[in-house]
Structure 1
């Protein structure tokens, strides 16, 4: 299939990294409603280019000032201090050869991909496909475009995916979609022809050269990658495990993006549930009479990974919103109590308490995944907040 866009945004290598035992970080973007999207892209691109060292320098300067507040001031000339410094040549050489992980300088070096939302919580936003194409070209990073079955039927979705393929957009996060009643378009009606399983099968068939109507495509598409979503919590954990197994058996999946994780136990359960589901699907596909499609799904999904959702909660109001409005999310009671108490002491203190709680989860995810976690960072477009955790 000829392309209007021949640029390689590194989608294939991105998927290889996700499937391997390597750290991965994506950042969620929700295009602004109205205004100049180019200005939004420029703001994100500017943040990507900022040095991560600048925050550390500011922090060190602040710590130094705080420490020296009560200390007696010295007037020793800088030249004398340098003359007396006991820094050997070998020490300098060691400092210059630190591991690559410590040489990351910008957010751009840290973020592997962006995920563009599709009117989350049924709140009206610009087209996720068109926005993803623009963001991918502007930021020169792979975009994973969110698509839901809520607003379009299968014919529209299949056609849009084909069109996006010609413009270099090849990775999609398949969703059923949030209920219309949660959003701000009360007069709209949800389509919900089926759930996200059908959207995953549409992508599978396009990769096999078959359109929605069962007819062969005139020429092959560039490889399309499908991602799925899973809740991070359920009152019935068995239902979560069942959903993972059903999605693995349905179609190829690169990875599961989870809703925000706020407890280590939730992350542990999802990792165990995924591995258990892989084993069950593999046993099922080994039985006689199983379709070739299911066998192919099993083979492809043996490397399917979990990408943990991470949402820093910096206020009691946001914690309550996530608890009450975001399905499949669990906020520990400890968080609610600490943030509510901190809110009475001022916004700055409340923010620090929220950062401390969120950093614990960040560290738990790193420790749980042997310091090579796969994390999806969500913060309502506040990309600068990521610097607090790097």
Structure 2
């Protein structure tokens, strides 16, 4: 069984994903509405797992809800909040619910979020989580005990930051994730496309795994300055900030900039991952401006194709 996203990876299509957050409460209506806007434009919708350590609905539950509406998810799973037992239990549960795409992440520190008294776990980190997923896919748990009720079939990806200051550290971490079983990579917000080009040619070229460049919708100069101040490793160039500041409609200028970045990314890597916090409705416009065609999607409610 091959889902639409995995099929697109295998067929070397230019991949398009978009990020949405689960609800902060028990009503998933807005999440479903946003995801339906994206259907037909993306290969899969990426569901965050406690991003920035902010409390929200379980990414597994949110992903299962989207599957019920015929929308294929990529379910993020972080190591911050669960020990090795909990992570494996959730991976089994995700598989049983029909979820196949996983993004293995270490997770943001608790102090970054809205529950700072909570205790971080970090029993594993992203590389070790990838190894656990690989073992579960082979029919074994993390202690090499066989799974009597069949192996899993999860398509696991990982994060990557081509703008990391340490080039050797970036290469070492990337290679470890490849060895651990990562099948695709989603990057952090990209602002330095020369650096992305260098990463693609010097590190990613021999891996034969798709890299999805992170494209972020900047809503204003103030928004860009906030990111520069508070998001580690990201530096929005001053010429982009000036464009936003001088524009009569900063939000539309942000859409234009994002579309330009999608076009740049298409020349360098195998996909884009779009982030438009609270304005996900603008993602189709960004893709249209960038010259992207709608994505052919399966209507199967399970998200699976034979």
Give TM class, smaller chain.
0.7 to 0.9
1:150 to 63, 80, 85: 80
CA deviation profile, 1:153-188 (whole Å, cap 9, x unmatched): 111000110111111112210111111111111111
Shift of 1:381: 4.6
In the alignment, which residue of structure 1 is the partner of 2:218?
313
Instruction: Give the whole-Å Cα distance in 1 for the aligned partners of 2:213 and 2:52.
Output: 19
Question: Which stretch of the first structure deviates more once superposed, 32-41 or 154-163?
Answer: 32-41
Is the Cα–Cα contact under 8 Å of residues 18 and 374 in structure 1 kept in the other structure? no
Alignment RMSD (CA, Å): 2.1
Match of 1:269 in 2: 198
2:276 aligned with 1:379: yes
Partner of 1:361: 261
- The answer (yes or no) to whether the contact 1:320–1:336 under 8 Å persists in 2 is yes
Cα distance, 1:156–1:269 mapped onto 2, change above 3 Å: same
TM-score, length-scaled by structure 1: 0.68
| Distance in 1 of aligned mates of 2:87 and 2:202 | 30
Question: 1:18–1:263: structure 2 CA closer, same or farther, 3 Å change rule?
Answer: same
- What corresponds to 1:15 in structure 2? 6
- Cα distance in structure 2, aligned partners of 1:352 and 1:219: 52
The structure with the greater share of residues assigned to helix is 1
Q: In 2, Cα distance between the equivalents of 1:316 and 1:39?
A: 27
Structure showing greater relative contact order (alpha-carbon pairs closer than 8 Å, 6 or more residues apart): 2
Aligned to 1:190: 120
For 2:29, which of 38, 55, 66 is the aligned residue? 38
Runs of 5+ consecutive residues of structure 1 not aligned to the other structure:
1-7, 49-107, 279-301
1:238 aligns with 2:168: yes
- Superposed, 1:1-390 pairs within 5 Å as 11=3, 13-45=4-36, 47-48=37-38, 108-138=39-69, 140-249=70-179, 251-275=180-204, 278=206, 302-339=207-244, 341-342=245-246, 348-369=248-269, 373-389=270-286, 390=288
> In 2 relative to 1, CA 157–35 (structure 1 residues): closer, same or farther, beyond 3 Å?
closer
Task: Tell me the alpha carbon deviations over residues 188-207 of structure 1, each in whole angstroms, 9 at most, x when there is no partner.
Answer: 12111231111101101001
Give structure 2 stretches of 5+ with no counterpart.
289-306
Structure with a larger share of its residues in strand: 2
The one-character-per-residue Cα deviations of 1:335-387 (angstroms, maximum 9, x if unpaired) are 23433x33xx7xx5322333333332122112335xxx411111125332113
The change in CA–CA distance for 1:225 and 1:350 in structure 2 (over 3 A counts) is: same
- Residue 39 (structure 1) shift: 4.7
Is the contact made by 1:233 and 1:330 (CA closer than 8 Å) also made in structure 2?
no
Of structures 1 and 2, the larger Rg is shown by 1
